[in-house]
Amino acid sequence: MTELYQLTIHEAGELLRQGKISSVELTQAHLERIRQVEPKVKAFTLVTDELALKQAREADRRFASGENLSPLTGIPIAIKDLICTKDITTTCSSRMLANFKPPFDATVMQHLNATGIVMVGKTNMDEFAMGSSTEHSAFFPTHNPWDLERAPGGSSGGSAAAVAAGMAMGAYGSDTGGSIRQPASLCNVVGLKPTYGRVSRFGLVAFASSLDQIGPFARNARDAAILLQAIAGPDASDSTCSPQPAQDYSAALTGSIKGLRIGVPKEYRIEGMPEEIVQATQASVELLRSMGAEIKEVSLPHTKYGIAAYYIIAPAEASANLARYDGVKYGYSYRDTTDMWEAMEKTRENGFGAEVKRRIMLGTFALSAGYYDAYYKQAEKVRSLITQDFERAFKDCDALVSPATPGVAFKLGEISDPYQMYLQDVFTIPANLAGICGVSIPGGFSNGLPIGLQLLGNAFAEDIILRIADTFERETNYHTCWPANL
Ligand code: GLN
C-alpha cells in the first residue's frame, strides 16, 4: 500500500477535499517519516513539528467549513532556510544568522500561509546559498537519500533531499546559478527555477540580486505547477517582480507536445561527461520526438563563458549584499572589544565560512577601481551575449533540452577544489544570466543514482516547460521511483 508520505500533492489534495484523510493525519505521517529518516539524511536545520500540527488542525477546520480551500491547503511543505519566516529562525545555514528570527514573512511565505500550507521545517543549504553540495553549511552536510555517502547537491540540497525522502510533499528553494535544478537532478525530483521576476524576492535573503529566484521542488510536474502557482505573480514590495499576472500552470498540462519545437544545444555536451548522462539525454530527446515534438539542433555559442561571467557577477553582487552583516544591525556580533573596527572584523572572521569569504573577496576585487572595467564590465557584456544566444534560439524553438548536471551525485568530501565544484552548474548558470526559466526532471538512472533532464523555456514560458515535463512523465516512470535502503 502507498504510505501517506508517498502521495503526491495532487492526490493528497483530492483525498483531503473528499474528507478521506485529514491534514493532521497527513502531517503526522510526515513527522513520523522525519523521525525515521532525518537522522540519516539531515535535510533540516529546524523541524517545526508543533507549528505543523497547529497549521494542520487549522487546515482541517477549513476543510470542514469548505471555505478558502486551495490545492496546497493542509499540505506538508519544507522551506529553504533563507526565506524569511516571521519569528522562526532563518539561518542561511550560517553562524552569522544562527539566531536570526525575522520580524516579518517573505512575500512567498505570506502567500503560502494564506493558502494554508503546513510548514514542517526549514531546510539545510550551503551557507548563503553559495555552493553545490550543502557541504558549505556551517552546521552539517545533508546526505543524498539515494546514497547516504553522497551529496544531495546544493545549495538547496536540504529541500531536494526532504522531498526525495518523503519528509515533505513539496519544498521551496532558491536558484542563483543552479541551486534548485542541480540538487533536484541529483535527488530525482522536479526542481523549477522561474523566470527572473516571476516570483517575488521580498524576504529572500539576497545572494546575487540580479540572478536569485525562489522556486519549487516536487515529485512530479503537476505538483510543481501547483507549488509555482501559489507563489507566482506581481508584488508591490519587490520592484524587480514582474507586473504580468501568472498563467494557469495546471491548465497548461494538456498531455500533448505535438508540434512543439524543442532545441538541443550542441554546446551542452562537454568533454569528460559520463557516457550514461549523454545516453540518458539522447534517449529522452528521442522520446520527446516520438511524442510529437519537432527536435532541432541549436547553437548557444557563448555558453562556454557562462561560468566565468557568473563567478564575477555573482560574487560582485554578493559582496555588496553581504556588507550588511557587520555585527551591528542583526545576527552574530563579536563583543569582546571596545574597538569598532576590530568588532566588525572579528564578526566577519567568525561569522562567515571559507566559501562566503572567498566570494566576498572575489567580488570586492572585481569591483575595485582599475579592475571594474577589466572584469565586472566584461562579465556584464558576456552576460548580454549569452542572453542574445537564447533570444536567437527561442525564435526557432519553444523550449531547449539538455542534461541538468555534468555528472551524477558525487561523494561527500569528494570535490575539494572550489573550481571543480563551480563546474557543477555548467548547464544551469546560463539560464540565470539570461533570466529565463528552467526545470530539472527525473530523466534516468546510472548505477542507482538519478540523472536529471533540464528543460529551458523562454522568459515567462513556465507553462510550456511544465507541459513538456508532465507529458514526458506520462511516458516514463523515473519520477515514481523511491530511494531504497533508506
Ligand atoms: N552553485 C552555484 C554557486 O555556488 C549556484 C548557487 C545558487 O544557485 N544559489 O554560486
Phi first, then psi: give them for residue 127, nearest 5 degrees: -50, 125
- pLDDT of residue 101 exceeding 90: yes
Q: Is 247 among the domain residues?
A: yes
Looking at residue 165, the DSSP 8-state letter turns out to be: T
Catalytic site residues? 80, 155, 179
By alpha-carbon position, which residue is closest to atom 4 of ligand 1?
131
Q: List, for residues 311-346, the tens digit of each pLDDT value.
A: 999 999 999 999 999 999 889 999 999 999 999 999
CA–CA distances in Å: residue 170 to residues 28, 120, 365:
16, 10, 39
Cell 566570494, located at residue: 359
Q: How far apart are CA 483 and CA 294, in angstroms?
A: 34
pLDDT in tens, 443-477: 999 999 999 999 999 999 999 999 999 999 999 99
**Pocket-testing residue among 425, 428, 432, ligand 1, by greatest number of atoms within 8 A of Cβ:** 425
Domain count, the chain: 1
Closest CA to 80 of 72, 69, 89: 89
CA distance 292 to 180: 29
Q: How confident is the model at residue 382 (pLDDT cuts 50, 70, 90)?
A: very high
Q: Tell me if 106 sits within 8 A of 204, measured CB to CB.
A: yes
Cell of 219: 515529485
Distance 24 CA to ligand 1 centre (A): 36
**1: confidence class by pLDDT, cuts 50, 70, 90:** low
Lookup: cell for 191 = 526542481
Question: Which atom of ligand 1 is least distant from the CA of 176?
Answer: 8
pLDDT in the model for residue 485: 82
* CA within 13 Å, CB half, 143: 13
Cα 376 to the chain's mean position, in Å?
Answer: 26
In a domain, 154, yes or no: yes
Best mutation site among 137, 179, 415, 421 for ligand 1 pocket (most ligand atoms within 8 Å of CB) = 179
Average pLDDT (220-230) is 98
Ligand 1 atom 5, closest CA:
177
Rounding to the nearest 10 degrees, give the CA dihedral for residues 314, 174, 431, 369. Answer: -10
Q: What is the CATH number of the domain that holds 205?
A: 3.90.1300.10
C-alpha cell at 202: 521580498
Whole-number Å distance, alpha carbon 173 to ligand 1 midpoint, is 12
Write out the DSSP string of 186-253.
HHTSEEEEPPTTSB--TTBPPSSTTT-EEEEEESSHHHHHHHHHHHBS--TT-TTS-SSPP--TTTT-
Task: Name the average pLDDT for the chain.
Answer: 97
Ligand 1: which atom is nearest the Cα of residue 429? 5
Distance 16 CA to ligand 1 centre (A): 37
d(CA 402, CA 262): 10
H/E stretch holding 478: none
Cα 309 to ligand 1 centroid, rounded to whole Å? 13
Cell digits of residue 475: 511516458
* Cell numbers linked to 195: 523566470
Residue percentage of the chain with pLDDT more than 90: 96
Q: Which residues pair with 440 in a beta bridge?
A: 191, 454
CA R_g for the chain:
21
Is position 26 within any domain? yes
Q: Where residue 413 falls among pLDDT bands split at 50, 70, 90?
A: very high
How far is residue 200's CA from residue 106's CA, in Å, rounded to a whole number? 9
pLDDT digits 0-9 by tens, 55-83: 999 999 999 999 889 999 999 999 999 99
7-37 pLDDT, tens digit each? 999 999 999 999 999 999 999 999 999 999 9
The model's pLDDT over 286-301, given as tens digits with 9 standing for 90+, comes to 999 999 999 999 999 9
Ligand 1 contacts (CB < 6 A) are: 129-132, 155, 175-179, 207, 314, 425
pLDDT of 441 above 80 = yes
- Given the CA of residue 132, which atom of ligand 1 is nearest to it? 1
Distance between CA 443 and CA 454 in Å, rounded?
Answer: 9
Q: Is residue 385 one of the residues assigned to a domain? A: no
Please say if the pLDDT value at position 269 is more than 90.
no
Atom of ligand 1 at shortest distance to CA of 178? 8
The span from the CA of 212 to the CA of 82, in Å, is 12
Inform me whether the pLDDT recorded for 2 exceeds 90: no
Give yes or no for a contact between 277 and 249, defined as CB atoms under 8 angstroms apart: no
Q: What is the pLDDT of residues 349-371, one digit of tens each?
A: 999 999 999 999 999 999 998 89
Cα–Cα dist 108/140, whole Å: 26
Mean pLDDT of 141-153: 98
Question: CA geometry: angle at 435 spanning 423 and 398, to 5°?
Answer: 100
Range of the domain at 88: 4-260+397-480
Q: How far is the CA of 435 from the centre of ligand 1 (A)?
A: 15
292 assigned to some structural domain: no
Residue written as grid cell 487549522: 58
| Residue 180 maps to a domain | yes
Span 155-176, pLDDT tens digits: 999 999 999 999 999 999 999 9
Query: How far does residue 442's CA lie from ligand 1's centre (Å)?
Result: 21
The structure's pTM equals: 0.98
Of ligand 1's listed atoms, the one at least distance from the Cα of 180 is: 8
Residue with CA at minimum distance from ligand 1 atom 10: 130
The grid cell for 297 is 539542433
3-class secondary-structure state, position 424: helix
In a domain, 39, yes or no: yes
CA distance 358 to 119: 33
Note whether residue 289 is domain-resident: no
Q: List % helix, strand, coil for the chain (3-state, nearest 5).
A: 45, 15, 40
